[in-house]
Amino acid sequence: MNVNRRDILQLLAFSGLGLSTIRPNIVFAKNEIDVIIPPRLKPGDVIGLVSPAGITRSKDKLKIIEEILAALDLKLHVDEHAMDRWGYLAGKDEIRAEAINQMYRDSEVNAILTFIGGWGCARLLPYLDYEMIQKHPKIIMGFSDVTALLLAIYAKTGMVTFHGPSGRSGWNTFTVDYVNRLLFDAEAITYKNPDDIGDNLTQVEDRIQTITPGKAQGRLVGGNLTVLTALIGSKYLPEWKGHILFIEDVGEGIYRIDRMMTQLKLAGVLNQIAGFVFGRCTDCDADSGYSSFTLGEVLEDHIKPLGIPAFRGSMIGHIKNKFTIPLGVEAVIDADRGTIQLLESAVR
């Protein structure tokens, strides 16, 4: 029997010696899912654009996306129902879901980009053809409400999905650099926040705050906190054991963040993960008054007792400069340095 160093460490942990006797604050995860790596992007590839959630009224937004993709030497194929409207949704659920199914079936479409988030992706999950999707691996990317699609497709098929810019996101130099390195160059990226101090004597923006020091290894999974917690109890979430959970949110009060973190705890999610990364909570209440908790206090209250490496402040979320993070890829987080290191390429 071939036994590698990782196997030995796990045996020692189960024998009662503990990992800390060899290398403190390191958690090793088990790989219990057969992960499917989608093909990388190439110049000239066709990107299928779908509207799985909220409506888009402006055709000029569509033109901007076309110009963005052209600048990346990519071609745009727009779903014929992308501009539909049904209440606050971009068409009926079955039609929006079928648009995604069709993009996976279409051999001329190389990857899938979501138009916008909002709300509505979770309504599509029962209508997706996961068996067919599994046979036609492709990049699918978005964030916010699109978290529901990313989690469900990874959970039901094992395919790597991508928490990154949607079509209507800002595609600035920082954001595009990570898209290029991850999806075109197949680089096993080490994500690290910018460290430019500007005119200040020390770094003020984009700071990392360690919750619990140390390193952890596992497959990345996560996305928007509100969307993720809304899926708890469904069959569209992955097995949590040994994963590294990353989350972000926007426009939430601190008590609501506390409520959702409590839900993750009560559902048994937090006691299974190997590591934790909180990105940004944009436009969340930093301090609702003297009697309020701060975001940092809420996160420490829920995460510190777990004893797992954890940090917050990563460039993940509803922000101008954002990382593109693959769900399902093996990585190591360093909570002291605030880095996420991919151990393998997210595309082939």
Distance CA 105, CA 325 (A): 25
Per-residue tokens: 338: 């605030």
Per-residue tokens: 293: 């908790």
318 is catalytic: yes
Distance CA 37, CA 342 (A): 14
| Residue 183 and residue 204 in contact, taking contact as beta carbons nearer than 8 Å | no
Helix/strand/coil (H, E, C) string of the chain? CCCCHHHHHHHHHHCCCCHHHCCCCEECCCCCCCCECCCCCCCCCEEEEECCCECCCCHHHHHHHHHHHHHCCCEEEECCCCCCCECCECCCHHHHHHHHHHHHHCCCCCEEEECCCCCCHHHHHHHCCHHHHHHCCCEEEECHHHHHHHHHHHHHHCECEEECCCCCCCCCHHHHHHHHHHHHCCCCCEEECCCCCCCCCCCCCCCCEEEECCEEEEEEEEEEHHHHHHCCCCCCCCCCCCCEEEEEEECCCHHHHHHHHHHHHHCCCCCCCCEEEEEEEECCCCECCCCCCEHHHHHHHHHHHHCCCEEECCCCCCCCCCCCEEECCEEEEECCCCEEEECCCCCC
| Residue 328 and residue 35 in contact, taking contact as beta carbons nearer than 8 Å | yes
187 is catalytic: no
| Residue 176 and residue 320 in contact, taking contact as beta carbons nearer than 8 Å | no
Per-residue tokens: 138: 């492709």
144, 166, 169, 314: which one is catalytic?
144
98, 248, 252, 330: which one is catalytic?
248
163, 243, 302, 318: which one is catalytic?
318
Per-residue tokens: 335: 């909570």
Catalytic sites, residue numbers = 144, 248, 318
